[in-house]
Amino acid sequence: MIWFIVKRLSMLIPILFGISLLTFLLIRLAPGDPAEAYLRLSHIPPTNQAIQEMNVKLGLDKPLIVQYVDWLGKVVRLDFGNSYVSKQPVWDELMLYFPATLQLTITAVILTVCISVPIGIFSALYKDSMFDHLSRILSFVGASMPTFWLGFLFMYFFSIKLDLLPVVGRGSLAHLVLPSLTLAFAYISTYTRLLRTSMLENLHQPFVFYARVRGLQERVIIGRHVLKMALLPVVTAFGMTIGNMLTGAFIVESIFAWPGLGRFFVSALSHRDYPVVQSCILLMGGIFVVCNLLVDIGYGLLDPRIRWKGER
């Protein structure tokens, strides 16, 4: 198992290298340039001279390869450079916004698990019951409703109409409820359906039949055996979900004024703040790789067959 983890971790390096090269090139292929964006956003007329000055100041006058090597050389030493806009070290910026996103994601993950797992199990066990139908409706609604609209509906009902929760901002636990619920909602729908299908498949496996023959208690069969098997596809999807939540919470962060990484990233993107964009993507790439690694480890824990295969 340890060898497996080490092997996977060592793969992180070429992957991150690939990501860094790709982002570096892609962002530079995008139209618009940071010097001009900076000047315009500062209400400074972007004259030729001003743009040239700014390019020199930002180091954008050097050849692309030199820029890349410079940047990479610093990144290896964990120096991500300074943001063009705020002039602050990018690392400090990332560490300022990342905890907020992490908090939001963790809460959303907890909500997703706590809500979708019971509903998924119930609707599998009571297939075609009233409960199953209701959960199906909920799933379809949740999966098809755009996040921003859902967010506004939540704000409208819970804050304006019922006056229970604050609309925007971060601070108390109350501030966390609506954004995390909005973020989790679509995933809850997905996982409910996923788990239901997976449970139903496994409920008809021979091992369930033999377990019953062995006289095992039904809750042991469901809880320990069927659920464990049924969770496999869910865990696979979960790796991606956590990555998605951590990196793609932009809409939720934006409407709920949540000071997270997604908002920071998108504003950097529109300012063509290259150091920030590159570092964010690198971080996000790293997160995805780590999440997938965790999924693989989780797999091994859930299903010994996979573990054995990995060790052979």
Interaction residues for other proteins, span 21-80 (CB under 8 A): 30-33, 36-51, 53
Exactly one of 76, 163, 213, 304 binds other proteins (CB under 8 A); that residue is 163
Nearer CB in complex with other proteins: 76/160: 160
**Residue 14 binds other proteins, judged by CB under 8 A:** no
Phi, psi for 89 (deg, rounded to 5)? -60, 135
Q: How far is the CB of 113 from other proteins (least distance, A)?
A: 8
Task: Name the DSSP letter for residue 153.
Answer: H
Q: What is the DSSP string of 155-175?
A: IIIIIIIS--S-SS-SSSHHH
**Residue 282 binds other proteins, judged by CB under 8 A:** no
**Residue 196 binds other proteins, judged by CB under 8 A:** no
Q: CA-based angle 277:280:286, to the nearest 5? A: 140
Nearer CB in complex with other proteins: 37/289: 37
Which ranges in the chain belong to alpha helices (H)? Answer: 2-29, 34-41, 48-58, 64-76, 90-125, 130-144, 147-154, 173-203, 206-213, 218-220, 227-247, 250-255, 261-270, 274-302, 304-311
> How many positions of this chain bind other proteins (CB under 8 A)?
73
Nearer CB in complex with other proteins: 46/298: 46
Part in contact with other proteins (CB under 8 A); list of ranges 13-21, 63-71, 233-241, 253-261: 253-261
Task: Name the DSSP letter for residue 224.
Answer: I
**Residue 262 binds other proteins, judged by CB under 8 A:** no
Part in contact with other proteins (CB under 8 A); list of ranges 108-116, 192-200, 228-236, 278-286: 108-116
**Residue 267 binds other proteins, judged by CB under 8 A:** yes
Give the span between the Cα atoms of 232 and 298, in whole angstroms.
9
Nearest by Cα to 60 from 42, 77, 37: 37
Site for other proteins in 212-231 (CB under 8 A): 217-219, 222-223
Q: How far is the CB of 284 from other proteins (least distance, A)?
A: 18
Give the span between the Cα atoms of 86 and 139, in whole angstroms.
42
Strand partners, 89: 82
**Residue 245 binds other proteins, judged by CB under 8 A:** no
Q: How far is the CB of 166 from other proteins (least distance, A)?
A: 5
Exactly one of 18, 99, 146, 169 binds other proteins (CB under 8 A); that residue is 169
Phi, psi for 256 (deg, rounded to 5)? -95, 10
**Residue 234 binds other proteins, judged by CB under 8 A:** no
